[in-house]
Amino acid sequence: MERWNGRVAVVTGASSGIGAAIVKDLAKAGMVTIGLARRVERIEELRKDLPEEAAKRLHAIKCDVSNEADIDAVFKQVEDQFGGCDVLVNNAGILRVKPLLEVGNTSDIKAVLDTNVTGLVLCSQRAYQSMVKRSVDGHIVHISSIAGHGVPSVPNMNVYPASKHAVRAITETMRHEMRDAGKKIKVTSISPGAVKTEILDGMNLPADINLLQSEDISAAVLYTLGTPPHVQVHEIMIKPLGEFY
């Protein structure tokens, strides 16, 4: 991680769960870390868990990644205030617990796709352009899901697995475009199994299910960012021991 010391990381969905763990770990690792979320007050609270120097490196900006105007404003602020984005972690994601074939859930389907797919692409575009503009060999990390590698036999996941299948395809599309453009910017997808976060609320999972912790996924982000310049991690899949799907 030494090469990233003092560089700028932008993390979406940073107010809780995996995103909160990532911003804390990146700040402790020496990065100027920008946490994006609708609930910025929760990111501000995270500073209490950090050593003083790391706390100074953590900044919060309000952003709804399903809103393109918000994204444009955030990346302009990051450029004006911090110089630009060197690392982007696309962590923001939502799930609506409803049957896919239930009539009348159009707004829920759109909300999931706008956040999990369109927002991820728009943030990646802005981050990539920032890196290219400054000749930075940066890194884009997508926090995906094992639901993007199959469809778990879990009721009412709705369009969520489809959104994560899209992230896999988008990751590879970006990798091809970066290679064809002659850029040394990396892109990585990290696919966790079930993680103990708010996204599982209302899913009625078995009481004895094994769950990952948010810190397990943050450790994977640190690992992939810490690889040498000639190494690109395409995909990391992480499951809790004994996961049932």
CATH number for the domain that contains residue 85:
3.40.50.720
Q: What pTM value is reported for the model? A: 0.95
Average pLDDT of span 100-113: 94
Q: What is the pLDDT of residues 130-164, one digit of tens each?
A: 999 999 999 999 999 999 999 988 889 999 999 99
Q: What is the pLDDT of residues 51-67, one digit of tens each?
A: 999 999 999 999 999 99
Neighbours of 187 (CB within 10 A): 26
Q: Is residue 39 part of a domain?
A: yes
245 has a pLDDT exceeding 70: no
Spot the catalytic one: 128, 160, 223, 245.
Answer: 160
Among 84, 42, 83, 88, residue whose Cα is nearest residue 65: 88
**Which pLDDT score is estimated for 169?**
97
Which residues 6+ apart lie within 8 Å of 27 measured at CB? 33, 50, 54, 55, 57, 58
Q: Is residue 183 part of a domain?
A: yes
Q: Is residue 245 part of a domain?
A: no
18 has a pLDDT exceeding 70: yes
Q: Is residue 224 part of a domain?
A: yes
Active site includes 160? yes
Q: Is residue 8 part of a domain?
A: yes
User: Sheet holding 32-37: strands in order across?
Assistant: 58-62, 32-37, 8-11, 87-90, 139-143, 186-192, 235-238
Average pLDDT of span 25-35: 98
Instruction: Report residue 141: phi and psi, to 5°.
Output: -120, 130
What total of structural domains would you count in the chain? 1
Helix (H) or strand (E) holding 239: none
**pLDDT, averaged across the chain:** 94
Among 90, 144, 147, residue whose Cα is nearest residue 119: 90
Q: Is residue 243 part of a domain?
A: no
Q: Is residue 244 part of a domain?
A: no
179 has a pLDDT exceeding 80: yes
Q: What percent of the chain lies above the pLDDT cut of 90?
A: 87
Q: Is residue 69 part of a domain?
A: yes
Q: Which domain holds residue 18?
A: 2-238
Rounded Cα distance, 114 and 68, in Å: 10
Average pLDDT of span 121-133: 98
Q: What is the pLDDT of residues 203-229, one digit of tens each?
A: 666 677 889 999 999 999 999 999 999
* The one-letter amino acid at 54: A
Q: Locate 11 and state its tokens.
A: 């993390």
167 has a pLDDT exceeding 70: yes
Q: At what angle do helices 119-133 and 160-180 cross, to 10 degrees?
A: 20
84 has a pLDDT exceeding 70: yes
202 has a pLDDT exceeding 70: no
Among 54, 15, 9, residue whose Cα is nearest residue 214: 15
